[in-house]
Structure 1
Amino acid sequence: MNPDSAFLFFVALFLLLIINSVLLQLVSATPTALPFQLLSLLSLKSAIKDPFSSFHDWDPTPTFTKSGFQDPIWCSWSGVECHPNSPEITSLDLSRRNLSGYIPSEIKYLTSLIHLNLSGNSFLGPFPTAIFDLSHLRTLDISHNNFTSIFPPGISKLKFLNVFNAYSNNFTGPLPLDLAHLHFLERLNLGGSYFNGRIPGSYGGFSRLKYLHLAGNILEGQIPEQLAYLTQIERMEIGYNTFSGGIPSEFPLLLNLKYLDIAGANLSGTLPWDIGNMTKLQNLLLFKNRITGEIPQSLGKLEALEELDLSENQLTGAIPSDLYNMKELTELSLMGNDLSGEIPEALGDLPNLASVQLWNNSLTGPLPQKLGSNDKLLQVDVSSNMLTGPIPPNLCHGNKLFKLILFSNKLEHELPASLANCTSLTRFRIQNNRLNGSIPYGFGLLENLTFADFSNNNFSGEIPADFGNAVRLQYLNISQNAFGASLPENIWNSTRLEIFSASSSEIVGDIPDFIGCRSIYKIELQENNLNSSIPWTIGHCEKLLTLNLSLNSLTGIIPWEISTLPSITAIDLSRNLLTGTIPSNFQNCSTIESFNVSYNMLTGPIPSTGTIFPGLHPSSFIGNDGLCGEILAKPCAADTLTAGAIEVRQQQPRRTAGAIVWIMAVAFGIGLFVLVAGTRCFQAKYNRRFGGGDEEIGPWKLTAFQRLNFTAEDVLECMAMTDKILGMGSTGTVYKAEMPGGEIIAVKKLWGKYKENIRRRRGVLAEVDVLGNVRHRNIVRLLGCCSNRECTMLLYEYMPNGNLDDLLHGKNKGENFCADWMTRYKIALGVAQGICYLHHDCDPVIVHRDLKPSNILLDGEMEARVADFGVAKLIQTDESMSVIAGSYGYIAPEYAYTLQVDEKSDIYSYGVVLMEILSGKRSVESEFGDGNSIVDWVRSKVKIKDGINQILDSNGGASCASVKEEMVQMLRISLLCTSRNPADRPSMRDVVLMLQEAKPKRKLPGNVVAEC
């Protein structure tokens, strides 16, 4: 090789070595930067349970080309975003994919990640600390998961973090302290978990924080004054905890605060006197606390305020007069306090006011007469005050008012005629006032009106005939007025009318023909001046349950058509002028529980066969001299004549005077014997029913669980006369009873026989004694128990709005209730809180065992009360447990092989109730398929496209996007509660917290119709 060739060879070799070195660097650099990102994503895919194949497009195969070079195709995978100029992953969004399992440690290889969203899934276990190695993170959202245990230290490594959202998890222990080192944090949400202890004072050191949410935990102690140093804070939600003390006096320094919610937090003390300095405040929510004192006058300086809710506190004094400054105010809620004085006239001048809730205070004086003139008023509730004067004439000036509640005041003068033209009105209650004049024509023509109560006023004149044309009216009460007129001839023609009450209203004339009576199940016309006969057309009222025509001047006979009504349970025709006999058809009517025809002019025998009359008290028939029969211990004339005829045939045709005397003596003896025997029979029946001296039956005993203003005798007397049956179930009949002092209670008379096992009854009373100590706002209160050895009657508080089953599936479906998602949510939360109390706060634990909509009662404000808990347990028999431990469609699947029910069984039943609330369907329907329940149906629907839309009830607001989102959150809760494995079901305490996290937006009730 010559020198030139050798030189060229060495140059070529040198260049080749340089090229190889560069290639080796490229090859070695690529695996360290890009494959680790791929490894991280594939590790996520393998560690996470993905029931709906959310990762179907995460396919690594195309990332390797024929040339062997790697192509970063992961940048096109769903949920993955890369830097626009490089293959570095900057955002990973796995939210709302129904994922579960755990987050692997390989996630730390996504070193360029800026945004990470894992929300809306079911990730379990402790929070993965590998995420703390993602030092470039700006946004971290882990909300709506099931992360547990104490929140681990190390989050301070994420020194550039702007947003941290951990809402709705199961974290325990204290709030993480090292969060305070995140100086760039602007939004912090730790609400809806089980964090306990105090709010660290260091949380006041976030110099850029604009949003703080700590609500729905178990935080206690005083609210730290250092939170007033959050100079940039705009929204603070720290309610639904158990703080001590009041609102820090330094809070008015939060000059940028727009939204403050410390509701349901056990706050005490007074409101800061300078609260008006928070001039940017738009929403002030402090309801359900123990705040005392007066409302500061400085509140009137909050000119930007849109919503003020100080309800359910202990506030006193007057409403500030400076309300006229609050030009943006839309919602004012001060209900449930002890406010006095007059309502400021300035309230009527507020241009945006839509909702006024002032009920249950001690307010006096007139309502602002300009109220409603702004054309925006939606609802007014000032009931249970001491207001006087006239009703403002322009309440419905904008024709948007849907609820007007004015009852239990001292309002005077005539009803404004404008209200009879308010087509938006759905609920109208003005009872217990001093209103006079006539009821204006037009209320019956209001197309949306469902509930109208005019009772206990001084109305007179004609009863408007348009009530008979009402298209949606379900409840009409015009009782206790002074009409002095007859009923309209078409009064029964209202197609949806269910309850009509016109008692004590000086109504005269005839009862109109019942032709057209379709939906009515209760008619109350007692204590009037009706003087006709009872129309035979009453047979058209096929759904009638209760008929009360007592204390009138009705004549003629009792129509036999009444006895043909298929559902009639209570009839009171007492104190009239009725003649003729009691139709014998009644003895075949098995539904009647109460029948009173006392003080008429009836004649003939009382039917003695069948199931009704032998069990009635004699007082139901007294005052009818011509009635006879065994129940009155008065033999009928035909029976006496027959007995005499037999005696005569036994004698010779001719008798002396002595023989005649002897015959008379025998007849007298027989009569005396019959009288004594009948008297003893009557006394035995009376004692058996009302606790006379019969030692076998025993006297009546009243066991009271709180101070009662009535006695056992009062209950018994009322039960003997009552005709107001609220319902019947497998355990007994429930009556509405008004005690002498005016208290209205519900009396449940348990089914039972005279010779019932005494030991079993003693068990009933022993368990009732335990249940009598239950005290919770969402549990129907057991007031007491009346019992002897024959009968047991349970005394409960009265629930005027019936039960959830009627509202979901009865005649009200699709109307006022079903359009109100807020009401559905409120009921669901109330039931959960009640069952949570039974499971976690009672010792021993009480398991309901038969939770279903018909056992969920609703009070006057639609607050849910769980009823009949433990009753199945109270009346245990030796029969199979399946007979008493639940209802078909609500029983947990494990019952089939364990034959036991516990707290997890209740939680399963509650999940079924949630599904009914969300879907509007019953637990078992034919469309679900043979042998399937609503749980099977829902689980099948969530697996298909648009299946959720088929589940959610459009009448409940599902057509509105914001409402649908909240309904989907509740659907997730229901699926958890109905897990087949009992161990997978959450505790009821967890359910309550999850529901609180899913609470609807507070402005929903007023806007849902307009927006959706």
Structure 2
Amino acid sequence: MDHRPPPPSLLLAVLFLFFSAVTPLPSQLVSLLSLKSSLKDPLNTFHQWEVSGNVTESVWCSWSGVTCDPETHQITSLDISNRNVSGVIPASIKYLTGLRHLNISLNQFTGPFPTAIFDLPFLQTLDVNHNIFSSSFPPGVSKLKYLTFFNAYSNSFVGPLPTEFVRLRFLEHLNLGGSYFDGEIPNSYGGFQRLKFLYLAGNVLGGQIPPDLGRLASLEHLEIGYNAFSGGLPMQFASLFNLSFLDVSNANLSGEFPIGVTNLTKLETLFIFKNNFQGEIPAAIGNLQSVEILDLSDNNFSGSIPEEISFLKNLKDLRLMNNNLTGSIPEGVGELPKLEYLFLWNNSLTGILPQKLGLNSRLQRLDVSSNNLSGPIPANLCLGNNLTKLLLFSNKFSGHIPASLANCTSLYRFRIQNNRLNGSIPNGFGSLPNISFMEMNRNNFTGPFPADLSNAPNLEYLNVSENSFNDVLPESIWNSPSLQIFSASFSQLKGKIPKFGACKNFYKIEIEGNELSGGIPWDIDHCEKLISLNLRQNSISSIIPWEISSLPSITEVDLSHNLLTGTIPSTFGNCRTLEAFNVSYNQLTGPVPSSGIAFSTLHPSSFTGNEGLCGRVISKPCRTETESEPDVKRNQSKKYTGAFMWITAAAFGVGLIILLAGIRFFRSNYQRRFVAEESEARPWKLTAFQRLNFTADEVVESLSMTGKIIGTGSTGTVYKTEMPGGEIIAVKKLRGKHKETIRRRKGVLAEVEVLGNVRHRNIVRLLGCCCNKECTMLLYEYMPNGSLDDLLHGKNKCDNLVGDWVTRYKIALGVAQGICYLHHDCDPVVVHRDLKPSNILLDGEMEARVADFGVAKLFQCDESMSVIAGSYGYIAPEYAYTLQVDEKSDIYSYGVLLMELISGKRSVDSEFGEGNSIVDWVRSKVKSKEGTKEVLDDNAGGSCSSVREEMLLVLKVAMLCTSRNPADRPSMRDVVSMLEEAKPKRKSPDGGGRVVINGGGKRPAQKSNV
């Protein structure tokens, strides 16, 4: 007989069976440990899930995320949400047989949905929102017969909506939004027995909304917007009597107002904004007696606002902006007792604003700008002291500003410009603790000038231009503690400019076109942050204070059309930040400073109208007085007696120069090349376009210490460097020096002039410019995610930051919006001339920023460029014979960029054949239907049918942009419109512009005036 002991593995198995016979708990332990081992946990959030020593019956019940039945110790709830974990859910999870609630949301789970979860027989709630589960939704969910709650919001599921859910007779909450589900909403979805919450928004759903949804008698919350349906809302929705929340926004719906909705008397929230509804808003809207939020904005509604809206006594938020509404605002709207938000801007409304508005409600925001409203501003808008934003600009309001608004302590934004208001601005605004922005220009206000505004503790922006104050500037105006921008141009101001005193926060001062007299106060150097000073077209006399030139950030000075006398202080020649200086039409005399970049590049017109000025800048030599005979004799003797001293000094100087040259040559072998080149070219001129906490010398020094090359190109080298204060910036050192730099100076200054004033979220902001006679450096905000070229083709391609189509589309739209701004919102038009992926940078939020205007210039329609405009592969074909560029040239380059985003290929590749570009290759493929598939990058989702359709829509835009005939190319404004219509229907992780918590509906984040 063999008496050998059994193997250890057999002993463990026997022991496991023994303990399993006593209690089922160890299998739960095994399941949890298996789950932990299958996950990647970068934050070590499962550190508590450890077993040491003897295993007690309830050890796992104390682990984080685990809830047990206190009597049986069975795990009833498992919550591992929001731990940033990834990996797979193991099949052993099915051993948690007592599980009622499972939450794995807000993690990084990928791949197909884990079907082992379907083997949890008693599961009631399942939350997997905000993960990256993909593929079609698997069969088997109907086994969860007790399921009441399922949330899969924001994943990457594809294919049709799963119909098995309809078989779950206890299901009350179903959220399948924010994925790539396509096709139509199944008719069977009208068969849910107890469903209260249905969320399908942000997918790729199409077709018509099924009328069968009207059979969901228990439904309380329905969100199906952000899809691409056709037609309108079915009349059967009138049967959803329990519905309290309906959102069909941005769903491509059309037709008349969905009249069936007016039958839903329990409805509290109705969102139908951003559709194509037209016609009039029906009077039956007054049936929605429970409605609190009503948003019909961004449609094509016409006619008047129905009087019946006044019957909605529970209404808190009414948004009808961006329609074609006419007529007057019903007087009853002003009597709505709970109204907090009223947005009616950008319509064609007439008549007066209801005079009882604010009298009985807690009004917080009112925006009726850009209409044709007239009459007085209601007196009680801030009666409850809740009003924060009041926007009435671009109307025809008349009368006085109500005195009550000057006591509105909640107000922080006040915009009433471009109206017909008159009288004086009431006292009291200066005592408002929150007011930060006041725009009252282009009215008919008269004096006195509101002196108390200088006391407003948080006022940052004040514009009272184009009024008729007929008053003096108050002595205290420059003492405002927070004011940064002050504009009071063309306002009939007279008297002297008050002493500047404590104007330490002012960035911009504009008081042109008035009747100011006297001199410019000498204490202007107290305005240490001042960037722009405009005093033109007044009657200012005396001399120009040299203190202006000492301001550390001064960039623009306009003193033209005054009565200034004396000379231009020579210190302006040493002002390294000055970019624009205009003193034309004064009574100045003497030489114009010839040193400094600003004066060497200024146009002579900046000095026109001053007969006594002279100098190289205006091509008028300065004459020296003829010496008298006695003076000549005296000076002659002095010359002879000093000759020896001069010869000695010259010899010493030559020797010193040779010595210093030797030292310099020696040091150049040990110092970095960059610093050696730059240090010999000092002094530097720094032109700042916002407040900078560093100097030009600090930029050069930082480049020597921390500078790292992050890019090179035909126009220069880009460095990443850290300033002494810790700020990281990008420095572009332009190529060339000496005569070559001087020859390019106009092009460089064109970039500086354009970018310095550009403010757009899709344009890289230029912080400043450092230059001297031999070198020019442009200082940009640093973009941490590099260039599109690196992410799409180069060294960062493996990071896969632009791997999916949604991200690529977002980049394409951002670039289009940036170029659209340059083409349509800049005057004169700005043409980029070198649009390509390496000139598209990505910020920390992966927002596209158009960069590198090294070859950009202010466009003149009859001007021909003398240098090659653009890069090979992106140059429009007509350039070969016209040598001219315009907006259409940029659009061609943009079309090439689109093709790169769609295909993942470079603009020029050997794959395309000799002499062919990506444009030729794409056109050859498009000719055959099957060839089109080869154009779409599989890595971006080109193999998925729904994504493929979206990519093809953008490909059509690219084809239009690259038309050989420039006249056939769309404008960039049209490109933006076409791209917006081709928007991927899946929402971004934040819910596509919403505030979403676990897929629940909250107030959508919408555009608004500011």
2:241 equivalent among 255, 262, 277: 255
Is residue 268 from structure 1 mapped to residue 259 from structure 2 by the alignment? no
**SS of structure 1 residue aligned to 2:406:** helix
Alignment partner of 1:37 is 2:28: yes
Say yes or no: does 1:109 pair with 2:95: yes
**Cα distance, 1:144 vs. partner?**
2.1
TM-score by length of structure 2 reads 0.65
Q: Could you list the per-position Cα deviations for residues 517-556 of structure 1 after superposition, in whole angstroms to 9, with x for gaps in the alignment?
A: 1100111111111121111111211111111111111111
In the alignment, is residue 472 of structure 1 matched against residue 454 of structure 2? Answer: no
Q: CA deviation at 1:755?
A: 9.4
* Secondary structure in 2 matching 1:531: strand
The answer to whether 1:512 aligns with 2:503 is: no
- Flag the 1:789–1:562 CA change in 2: closer, same or farther, 3 A: closer
For the pair 1:398 / 2:393, whether they are aligned, the reply is no
Query: Any conservation in 2 of the 1:197–1:218 contact (CA below 8 Å)?
Result: yes
Q: Which has the higher mean CA deviation after the structures are superposed, 129-138 or 544-553?
A: 129-138
Match of 2:988 in 1: 993
Matched, 1:233 2:233: no
Partner of 2:114: 128
Work out whether 1:622 is the aligned partner of 2:608: yes
The match for 1:772 is: none
**1:207-241: CA deviation from partner (whole Å, max 9, x where unpaired):** 21100111222222222222122111100111222
Contact conserved, 1:544 with 1:565, CA < 8 A, in 2? Answer: yes
The answer to whether the 8 Å contact 1:63/1:72 transfers is no
CA pair 358-218 structure 1, distance change in 2 beyond 3 A: same
| Aligned counterpart in structure 1 of residue 39 of structure 2, from 48, 51, 75 | 48
Q: 1:868: which partner in 2? A: 850
Verify the 8 A CA contact 2:811 2:847 in the aligned structure 1. Answer: no
Task: Mark the runs of 5 or more structure 2 residues left unpaired by the alignment.
Answer: 1-13, 634-686, 700-714, 717-731, 768-804, 817-834, 858-866, 869-899, 905-982, 1006-1010
Secondary structure at 1:308 match in 2: strand
Contact 1:142 1:166 survives alignment (8 Å): yes
Q: Tell me the alpha carbon deviations over residues 262-313 of structure 1, each in whole angstroms, 9 at most, x when there is no partner.
A: 2222222222124211111101112222222221211111111111111222
- CA distance in 1 between counterparts of 2:855 and 2:119 reads 55
SS in 2 for 1:637: coil
Q: Which moved more, 1:569-578 or 1:192-201?
A: 192-201
2:75 is matched with which residue? 89
User: Compared with structure 1, are the counterparts of its residues 800 and 296 closer, same or farther at alpha carbon in structure 2 (3 Å cutoff)?
Assistant: farther
What's the counterpart of residue 826 of structure 1?
none
1:410-429 equivalences in 2 (<5 Å):
410-429=396-415
What is residue 565 of structure 2 aligned with on the other side? 579
**Aligned position for 2:779:** none
SS at match of 2:270: strand
Cα separation, 1, equivalents of 2:128 and 2:747:
60
Aligned to 2:351: 365
How far off is 1:115 after superposition?
2.1
Instruction: Show the counterpart of 1:888.
Output: none
User: What is the deviation of 1:346?
Assistant: 0.7
| 2:436 equivalent to 1:436 | no
CA displacement at 1:387 relative to structure 2: 0.4
**Superposition pairs for residues 917-996 of structure 1, below 5 Å?**
993-996=988-991
AA at the equivalent of 1:531? S
| Cα distance change, pair 634–54 in 1 and its aligned pair in 2 (3 A) | closer
Matches within 5 A, 1:644-659: none
In the TM superposition, residue 585 of structure 1 has moved relative to its aligned partner by 0.9
Deviation of 1:466 (Å): 0.5
Q: 1:139 to 1:62 in 2, by over 3 A?
A: farther
Higher mean Cα deviation, 136-145 or 47-56? 47-56
Matching residue of 1:463 = 449
SS at match of 1:392: coil
Correspondent of 2:542 among 544, 547, 556 = 556
Q: For 1:156 and 1:787, how far apart are their aligned partners in 2?
A: 72
Question: Counterparts of 2:814 and 2:521 in 1: how far apart (Å)?
Answer: 56
- Separation of aligned partners in 2, 1:522 and 1:799: 16
CA, structure 1 residues 802+400, in 2 after alignment: closer, same or farther (shift >3 Å)? farther
Q: Identify unmatched segments of 5+ residues in structure 1.
A: 1-22, 66-70, 650-722, 733-748, 762-785, 809-831, 857-863, 878-901, 907-987, 1007-1012
Q: Is the 8 A contact 1:214 1:237 kept in 2?
A: yes
Q: 1:371 to 1:842 in 2, by over 3 A?
A: closer
The one of 147, 150, 162 equivalent to 1:161 is 147
- 8 Å CA contact 1:62–1:73 kept in 2: the answer is no
User: Following TM superposition, by how much is the alpha carbon of 1:633 offset from its aligned partner in structure 2, in angstroms?
Assistant: 2.5
Match in the other structure for 2:126: 140
| Shift in CA distance, 387/800, structure 1 to aligned 2, threshold 3 Å | farther
Q: 2:178 aligns with which of 188, 192, 206?
A: 192
Q: Is the 8 A contact 2:464 2:487 kept in 1?
A: yes
1:571 to partner: Cα distance: 0.8
Query: Per-residue deviation at 1:52?
Result: 4.3
1:347 aligned to 2:320? Answer: no
Displacement, 1:50?
Answer: 3.4
* Structure 2 residue identity aligned to 1:251: F
Seq. identity, % = 53
Cα distance change of structure 1 residues 332 and 437 upon mapping to structure 2, 3 Å threshold: same
Matches within 5 A, 1:72-83: 73-83=59-69
Mapping of 1:503-902 within 5 angstroms?
Answer: 503-638=489-624, 836-838=809-811, 846=837, 850-852=841-843, 867-869=849-851, 871=853
Change (3 A) 1:38 1:852: closer
Contact 1:375 1:399 in 2 (8 A): no
Q: What is the alpha-carbon distance in structure 2 between the residues aligned to residue 142 and residue 834 of structure 1?
A: 23
The Cα offsets for residues 538-591 of structure 1, whole Å up to 9 and x where unpaired, read as: 121111111111111111111111111111111111111111111111111121
SS for the counterpart of 1:42 is helix
Q: CA deviation at 1:33?
A: 4.4
Preserved contact between residue 509 and residue 530 of structure 1 (Cα < 8 Å):
yes
Residue type of the alignment partner of 1:837: K
How far, CA to CA, are the matches of 2:210 and 2:815 in structure 1?
33
Contact 1:222–1:246 (Cα < 8 Å) also in 2: yes
Q: Which amino acid aligns with 2:94?
A: K
Report the alpha carbon displacement of residue 835 of structure 1 after superposing the two structures with TM.
6.7
TM-score by length of 1: 0.65
2:638 aligned partner: none
Q: Does the 8 A contact of 2:178 with 2:987 survive in 1?
A: no
Q: Distance in 2 between matches of 1:569 and 1:835?
A: 38
Question: What does 1:196-207 align with in structure 2 at a 5 Å threshold?
Answer: 196-207=182-193
Tell me the distance in 2 between the aligned counterparts of 1:753 and 1:340.
60
If asked which structure has higher relative contact order (CA below 8 Å, sep 6+), I would say 2
2: CA distance, partners of 1:839 / 1:833: 10
Equivalent residue pairs, number: 723
Contact 1:139 1:164 (C-alpha < 8 Å) held by counterparts: yes
CA change 1:755–1:257 in 2 (3 A) is farther
Question: Is contact 1:570-1:724 (8 Å) kept?
Answer: no
Alignment pair present for 1:489 and 2:475: yes
Q: Is the 8 A contact 2:124 2:147 kept in 1?
A: yes
Question: How far apart in 2 are the matches of 1:154 and 1:145?
Answer: 20
C-alpha distance in structure 2 between counterparts of 1:604 and 1:263, whole Å: 68
Contact 1:839 1:846 in 2 (8 A): no
Q: CA offset at residue 358 of structure 1?
A: 1.0
Q: Measure how far apart 1:793 and its partner are.
A: 8.7
Residue 993 of structure 1 aligns to a residue in which SS?
A: coil
Name the CA distance, whole Å, in 1 between partners of 2:987 and 2:400: 47
SS state of the match for residue 419, structure 1? helix
CA deviation string 1:799-855 (max 9, x = no partner): 77899999x9xxxxxxxxxxxxxxxxxxxxxxx9897433699999846654448xx
1:327 corresponds to: 313
Separation in 1, partners of 2:486, 2:422? 21
Q: Compared with structure 1, are the counterparts of its residues 72 and 635 closer, same or farther at alpha carbon in structure 2 (3 Å cutoff)?
A: closer
Structure 2: distance between partners of 1:1005 and 1:150: 29
